Structure 1
Amino acid sequence: MDLVAELESVLGSERVRAHPLDRRVFAKDAGVKTGPVAAIVFPETAEETASCVRIAAEAGIPVVPRGAGTGLAGGAVPVEPALLVVMTRMNRIFEVDEQGRTAWVGPGVINLELSKQLASTGLHFAPDPSSQQSCTIGGNVGTNAGGPHCLAEGTTVAHILAVELVTVDGEIVVVGAEYPDPIGLDLRAVIVGSEGTLGIVTRVLVKLTENPPAVGTLLLGFPTVDAAAATVSEIIASGLVPAALEMMDRPMVRAVENFVHAGYPTDAAAVLLAEVAGHPEGVRAEAEMIERIARSHGATSVRTAADDAERALLWKGRKSAFGAIAQSAPDYYLHDTVVPRTRLVEVLDAIYEIAARHGISLLNVFHAGDGNLHPLVSFDASRPGELDRVLAAADEMVRVSVEAGGTLSGEHGIGLEKRDLMGLVFSADDLDAQARLREAFDPTGRMNPGKVLPEGSRCFDRAAVSGGTGR
C-alpha cells in the first residue's frame, strides 16, 4: 500500500491531500521560502496524529507540523519531501477552569477566538500576535509567539502550563502539569519555541489572565523618530512598564491610515501607541505620566481613546500594518530582531541606510518597549533580482542588530530564515548542546528536519564537514 492509501485508511480520503495543486499551496507559509510536500493530512485527534507519524516513519519520510500557515520564518516549510501534518481541525476548547484560570485547548484553536469564547468569564489568553485573528495556539507554542501586550505579560512560554505531544516514535506524552512548579526538568519550556522539531503538539494547557478593570490607550505623535525612541527609554527608565508600547514611522503610519482610517497623524515622523491597564486610578496616573514624558520630548499630538470602540480602532491600525503595505507592493519581507532599547535610534538609522543603499522600500513598525524590531520591506518578487536584493539587505539588518548587542528573533522563530545566522549569537558549544537536546527527542532526525540549527551543529557533524576528529 502506498503512502496516500495508508494515510487514507486512517483518516479517509477527505482529510488526505496529495494533488499537485494542494502540494503547491501548502509548500510555503507566510514567508518567502517554499519546499517539497509529499502529502498533507488533517488529523482531528492525538491518536490520528500518532498514526500519521508512524506511517511516515514506515515510508521513510520526515514529518512537518503546520498550523494556520501565518509563520514568517519558514518553520513549516519542508526542506525535503515530507508529510505535512496540518493541525487546524484540532480546534476544540476541551475544558475551562475559571477558578484555576486555565484551559485545555486543541492546537488548532485560533488565538483571538479563544479570548472571544472566554469573554463571559472575564479572562483572556494574553499573547496577542498581530496575526491573532488567524494564527493558532499550536503555532504560538511552536514559535513562543509574543505580541504588543507581551511587554508586561511575557511571551507564550509564560502562559503555557503543559502540552500533550506526539513524539517521533508515535507515542503520546504529556509534559508539564496543572500546577506551576512541577518537580523535575521543565520540559514544557523546552517544547515551547522548539518549532515542531521535538514533536507535534496535540493539546495545550494554557494559563488565562484576568481582564483588567480599566485600560488607557494613547496615540502619541512625534516630530522625529529620535524623539519617540527617547520617550520609550524614559518611560521604561521611570519604572513604568506599560501593557504595550508600539512604534511606527511615517511611511508605516501613512500606509496604515490610508488602509484603516483610524485617525493616525500622518504628518508625524513617528507615533507611539501606548497602553496601560489596571485599577482606574492607577491607569489615570500612568497615562498622565506617559503624556508628560512624551510632551517633554516634543510630542506634537496626544490622543487618548475615549471608549472601547476608539481603543479598538487604534489597535486595528497597529494590527493591520502587515496588510496595509499591500497597497504599495504585492510582497513583503521582515525580520524580528531584538536590540537594547538604548540603541534603538542607532540601529534604526543603520537599517534606513541599508534600505537606501539597496534601493528597497522600508517601513518600520515594532514593539518599542522591548526593542523588538520589525523592519518591513515591500517589494514585487516578480521583478528579476528584487528578492535577492531584499534578502541581502535583510541579512545586513540582522547583523547590525546583533552587533548592537541584540539577538536574532523576539517572537517569529528561527525556522529556515535565520537558521544559518545562529552562529552569530551562539558558540559552537552552544549549538552542540542544542543539537544534543534535539537528538534526545528525535534521534532519527525526522521531525521537521533542517530547521533552527544549521548543518554542523553537532560536534561530530563539524568533524565530518572539516575532516577532523571531533571531540
Structure 2
Amino acid sequence: MNNRFLDRLAAAVSPGALLRDPVELLTYESDALVHLRATPGAAVLPRSAAEVQAVVRLCHEHHVPFVARGHGTGLSGGALPVADGILIVLSRLNRILDIDIPNLRVTVEPGVTNAEITRQVAPLGCYYAPDPSSQSVCSIGGNIAENSGGAHCLKYGFTVHHVLGVEAVLPTGDMIQVGGAVLDPPGLDLLGVMVGSEGTLAVVTKATLRLLRRPEAVLTLLAGFGSIDEAGEAVSAIIGHGIVPAAVEMMDRLTIDAAEAAVHPDFPKTGAVLIVELDGPQDEVHELFAIVERVCHASGASTIEIARDAAARDRIWRGRKAAFAAMGRVSPNYYVQDGVVPRTRLPEVLRRIRDLEARSGLRIGNVFHAGDGNLHPLICYDEAIAGQAEHAEAVASEILQYCIDAGGSITGEHGVGADKSKHMSKMFGPNDLDAMRMVRSAFDPAAICNPGKVFPTPRLCGEVPGPYRQHPIERAGLAERF
C-alpha cells in the first residue's frame, strides 16, 4: 500500500479518521468470531456518506480491496479485514435522521445500534422488530449485511422484511438509492439482493426501516423440562395447534448454567428451558396462552413461570440474550455455530449433536430459535491446549453437515462470511454458485468489495464464474484437463 494512496485517503476523511498504527489496528483484526484474524493495511472511520464515497472511489482507483465494518459483533468473519486492504469502520455514522410515525418509518445511518431505534420510538408507541441477541451493540448496517433475525423472527421475519430502502456506495464509488418509501417500487428487486449480501455488493450509508406499533398484550412463559426432547415435543404441539408465537426459544442445561452464572435470570435447574412469548390483541393472546400452558404441562414441564410484569419478562429475556457471552463463565473459549433444520427434524439433529459431544470430548451447549429450527450450538474448547481450536472447528463443521443432511441450511442469521464459505458447495451446485458470482461481479467487477467472503475458493486461482475456459497452454496442446 503506497504512501501516495494513504496520503490521499487521509485527505478524504476527517482529521484523525485514518488509522495506520499497528497497535490501533489490532482492535479491528476480527469481528466476534475471534479465531479468524487479519490485520488491515489501514482503517478509516468516516463521519459522512460523502467520506465513505470518497474512500471507496480511491480504493477503486488504486485497486485496493476494502471491507466495511459495523460494530464488529458478527459471528461468521464477515467483517474480517483483508491484509493490505482498507477497513471502512462505519460506527461514526450513527445518527437517526428521521422518525416518521404516521407512516411507521425511521431513517438511520448504518452505525446506529439496533436497540437504539426502539429506545427512540418506544415513547411514541412503536418498536423495531428484528432483535438479535446482540441488539444493544450491533449496528443496523451489519444487520442489513447479514439479514439478521433474532428471537422474534418466527412471527415477524428477518431484517429483509423491515427494510424499505437503502442508500449505498457501489464498489466503483457511485452512490445509488435502492427501494424507498413505497412498498413495491418498479424495476428489479435490488433491495432484496442487497440485504443479506454480507457487504460484498456495496456499502450501505443510510437505511429506511419499517416500524411496528406496540401490541396490545404480551405474555411470556418460562417452562422447565427434563430434557431437550420433552421441550421439543412442546414446541411441535404448540405449532400443531395453529399458534404462531412471537418467539419460541430453547436452552439446554449447559447454557442455563452459563446464563445463571453471568446474569442471574433465576432459570430452573432443569435439562432444558423453553421460553414462549405471545403478542397481539389481548383477548386472543390470553386465549392462546392458556393453550400453550396446557401443552407445556402435557409435554412434561416440571416448572412453569409466567412473567407477571415487564420486570419479570426482561429478566427472562436477559437470561436468553446473554447465552452466547455467558459461555465465557463455563469455558475458556467457545465457537458459536449457526445452522437451520426443519423443525420436525430437530430431535434427530440434536441427538446427533449429543452423540458428537460424547465422541469429540468437547462440551456443546445448545441455544436456539426452536420455532424455526435455527440452531446455535456452542462448542467449548481451550485454545491453550494444542490442537483443540482446530478440533472445535471440525466439530462445528460436522454439525453443519448434520443440518444439510436434514434438509436444512449452513446459516440462519449469522451469515456465511469467511467462516462457512468452504461449506457453500455442499449446499449449492457449480451452476448455482456461478449465478451468484455473476450477480456479485455485476456490482463489483474488480472484486475489491469484501473479497474472500461467502463463496468457496474458486476451482483455479483467478477463475471467474461462467462456462469453463481453456487455459492458453491447454489450447496449445501442452496440457490437458482431467
TM range (shorter): over 0.9
- Distance (Å, rounded) in 1 between the aligned partners of 2:392 and 2:299: 34
Name the aligned partner's letter for residue 231 of structure 1: A
Decide whether the 8 Å contact of 2:152 with 2:247 is kept in 1: yes
The correspondence for 2:342, drawn from 334, 340, 343, is 340
Task: Pick which of 160-169 and 76-85 moved more.
Answer: 76-85
The correspondence for 1:413, drawn from 412, 415, 429, is 415
How many Å apart are 1:252 and its aligned residue? 1.0
Q: For 2:154, what is the secondary structure of its paired residue? A: helix
Name the aligned partner's letter for residue 403 of structure 1: D
- Distance (Å, rounded) in 1 between the aligned partners of 2:317 and 2:157: 19
Per-residue Cα deviation, 1:132-188 (whole angstroms, up to 9, x for no partner): 010000000000000001110000000001010001111111001211111111100
Decide whether the 8 Å contact of 1:67 with 1:138 is kept in 2: yes
Decide whether the 8 Å contact of 1:138 with 1:201 is kept in 2: yes
Tell me which residue corresponds to 1:179: 182
- Distance (Å, rounded) in 2 between the aligned partners of 1:139 and 1:167: 17
Summarize the alignment of residues 85-96 of structure 1 with structure 2, pairs less than 5 Å apart: 85-96=88-99
Summarize the alignment of residues 29-178 of structure 1 with structure 2, pairs less than 5 Å apart: 29-31=31-33, 32-178=35-181
Return 5+ residue gaps in structure 1 as ranges.
Answer: none
How many Å apart are 1:130 and its aligned residue? 0.3
Name the aligned partner's letter for residue 60 of structure 2: A
Per-residue Cα deviation, 1:277-310 (whole angstroms, up to 9, x for no partner): 0112111112111111111111111110010010
The correspondence for 1:295, drawn from 273, 294, 297, is 297
How many Å apart are 1:462 and its aligned residue? 5.9
- Distance (Å, rounded) in 2 between the aligned partners of 1:122 and 1:42: 34
Per-residue Cα deviation, 1:293-334 (whole angstroms, up to 9, x for no partner): 111111111110010010000000000101211112232212
- Distance (Å, rounded) in 1 between the aligned partners of 2:23 and 2:332: 21
Decide whether the 8 Å contact of 1:46 with 1:172 is kept in 2: no
- Distance (Å, rounded) in 2 between the aligned partners of 1:462 and 1:366: 41
Decide whether the 8 Å contact of 1:110 with 1:136 is kept in 2: yes
Does the alignment pair 1:448 with 2:450?
yes
Summarize the alignment of residues 11-30 of structure 1 with structure 2, pairs less than 5 Å apart: 11-30=13-32
Among the aligned pairs, what percent are the same residue? 43
Per-residue Cα deviation, 1:198-237 (whole angstroms, up to 9, x for no partner): 0100000101111111100000111121110011111112
Q: For 1:370, what is the secondary structure of its paired residue? A: coil
Closer, same or farther in 2 for the Cα pair 1:394/1:297, shift >3 Å? same
Decide whether the 8 Å contact of 2:105 with 2:211 is kept in 1: yes
Decide whether the 8 Å contact of 1:456 with 1:462 is kept in 2: no
- What's the TM-score once normalised by structure 2's chain length? 0.94
Name the aligned partner's letter for residue 439 of structure 1: S
Per-residue Cα deviation, 1:80-108 (whole angstroms, up to 9, x for no partner): 42100001110111011101101110000
The correspondence for 2:309, drawn from 282, 299, 307, is 307
The correspondence for 1:358, drawn from 351, 357, 360, is 360
Tell me which residue corresponds to 1:272: 274
Decide whether the 8 Å contact of 1:4 with 1:18 is kept in 2: no
Name the aligned partner's letter for residue 363 of structure 2: S
Task: Pick which of 399-408 and 449-458 moved more.
Answer: 449-458
Q: Please provide the CA RMSD for this pair.
A: 1.6
- Distance (Å, rounded) in 2 between the aligned partners of 1:68 and 1:154: 23
Q: For 2:374, what is the secondary structure of its paired residue? A: coil
Name the aligned partner's letter for residue 129 of structure 2: A
How many Å apart are 1:116 and its aligned residue? 0.2
Closer, same or farther in 2 for the Cα pair 1:396/1:463, shift >3 Å? farther
Tell me which residue corresponds to 2:222: 219
Does the alignment pair 1:323 with 2:336?
no
Summarize the alignment of residues 185-264 of structure 1 with structure 2, pairs less than 5 Å apart: 185-264=188-267
Does the alignment pair 1:439 with 2:441?
yes
Q: For 1:68, what is the secondary structure of its paired residue? A: coil
Closer, same or farther in 2 for the Cα pair 1:468/1:207, shift >3 Å? farther
Return 5+ residue gaps in structure 2 as ranges.
Answer: 476-480
Task: Pick which of 372-381 and 123-132 moved more.
Answer: 372-381
- Distance (Å, rounded) in 1 between the aligned partners of 2:45 and 2:294: 53
The correspondence for 1:383, drawn from 377, 382, 385, is 385
Closer, same or farther in 2 for the Cα pair 1:139/1:328, shift >3 Å? same
Q: For 2:365, what is the secondary structure of its paired residue? A: strand
- Distance (Å, rounded) in 2 between the aligned partners of 1:41 and 1:175: 25
How many Å apart are 1:2 and its aligned residue? 2.5
- Distance (Å, rounded) in 2 between the aligned partners of 1:245 and 1:175: 33
Task: Pick which of 78-87 and 342-351 moved more.
Answer: 78-87
- Distance (Å, rounded) in 1 between the aligned partners of 2:374 and 2:56: 36
Summarize the alignment of residues 363-378 of structure 1 with structure 2, pairs less than 5 Å apart: 363-378=365-380
- Distance (Å, rounded) in 2 between the aligned partners of 1:154 and 1:82: 35
Closer, same or farther in 2 for the Cα pair 1:405/1:213, shift >3 Å? same
Alignment: residue pair count: 468
- Distance (Å, rounded) in 2 between the aligned partners of 1:16 and 1:41: 5
Task: Pick which of 19-28 and 191-200 moved more.
Answer: 19-28
Tell me which residue corresponds to 2:478: none
How many Å apart are 1:338 and its aligned residue? 0.4
- Distance (Å, rounded) in 2 between the aligned partners of 1:229 and 1:60: 52
- Distance (Å, rounded) in 1 between the aligned partners of 2:357 and 2:181: 48
Closer, same or farther in 2 for the Cα pair 1:196/1:464, shift >3 Å? farther
- Distance (Å, rounded) in 2 between the aligned partners of 1:394 and 1:464: 37
Q: For 2:424, what is the secondary structure of its paired residue? A: helix
- Distance (Å, rounded) in 2 between the aligned partners of 1:327 and 1:5: 45
Decide whether the 8 Å contact of 1:29 with 1:77 is kept in 2: yes
Name the aligned partner's letter for residue 191 of structure 1: M
How many Å apart are 1:459 and its aligned residue? 4.0
Decide whether the 8 Å contact of 2:63 with 2:446 is kept in 1: no
- Distance (Å, rounded) in 2 between the aligned partners of 1:439 and 1:99: 40
Closer, same or farther in 2 for the Cα pair 1:135/1:170, shift >3 Å? same
- Distance (Å, rounded) in 2 between the aligned partners of 1:216 and 1:57: 52
- Distance (Å, rounded) in 1 between the aligned partners of 2:221 and 2:314: 12
- Distance (Å, rounded) in 2 between the aligned partners of 1:311 and 1:421: 38
